[in-house]
Amino acid sequence: MKKNVKIILAVGIAAITVAVLLIFILKTAGGSLDVIGRESIASFDAVLKAIPGRVKPDERNGGWSLEAPDGTMRFIWSENYAKSAQHDVMLELDAQPFVDAGLDPAKLPANYASYDGMLMVGAKLGSDELTYSGEPTPLAAYEQIVAKYRSSINYHTALDHYGVKLGDGNMFEWAKNLEKNTVANADQDKDIVFVLNPEPLIAAGVDPAKVEGWAYAEVSVEENGKPVNVYKFLKPYNIR
């Protein structure tokens, strides 16, 4: 009997200890265990503030866009998923480098669109009628992604980047810290990066060695919690 009492007491003390630790973690994390989601908002805000002239409303898709410094591509995120049609998060990019490298746009899969010399690729996150406590802003629209579709937010350890998954291996990434890669303890020279899965483009005729302005490189990504090396088309920019 005494042994059982001791076991019960030990279990009770362990449970209390775990509860106290959880409360402490929650408080130090600002009320949330989701450090990646929370910190991605702050770092995305820093990116928006670093290039305010490149952040604009997107009339075609009913949301916001962040344009690359050279004007050849944009990251676009919707303001209201109930009103967006094909995609809620997407990349729009100049098609010409890929056409010059052999692309036949008619052979691209359904998640791609081709129009006016541009390519668009992205993902439909949902059909929610999003509501805002105040006026919708670019940052508030991003916060909706974190709140409602957290699985779409990624952290890329090697580059010390946060990112939005755009489906089928496509990404838009930005630096956790615009000054420093805190993982490599080095200057951060890739503040934003547009990332494309090369496989559908190659299947549609693209010779990856001939795509001007894009790097075709092997990068480390996490799949099912394990690092693997895969090839991507990459276009990084330093925005500072």
Q: Which residues in the chain come in under a pLDDT of 50? A: 5, 9-12, 14-31
The closest alpha carbon to 176, from 47, 90, 80, 83, belongs to 47
Q: 91, 196 in Cβ contact below 8 A?
A: yes
Query: pLDDT tens digits for 153-188?
Result: 999 998 999 999 999 999 999 999 999 999 999 999
At residue 12, the pLDDT reads 47
Q: Given strand 192-196, what is the order of strands in its sheet?
A: 153-156, 161-165, 171-175, 192-196, 226-237, 215-223
At residue 60, the pLDDT reads 84
Rounded Cα–Cα distance for residues 93 and 84 (Å): 19
At residue 19, the pLDDT reads 42
The model's pTM is 0.84
At residue 26, the pLDDT reads 39
Query: pLDDT tens digits for 108-120?
Result: 999 999 999 999 9
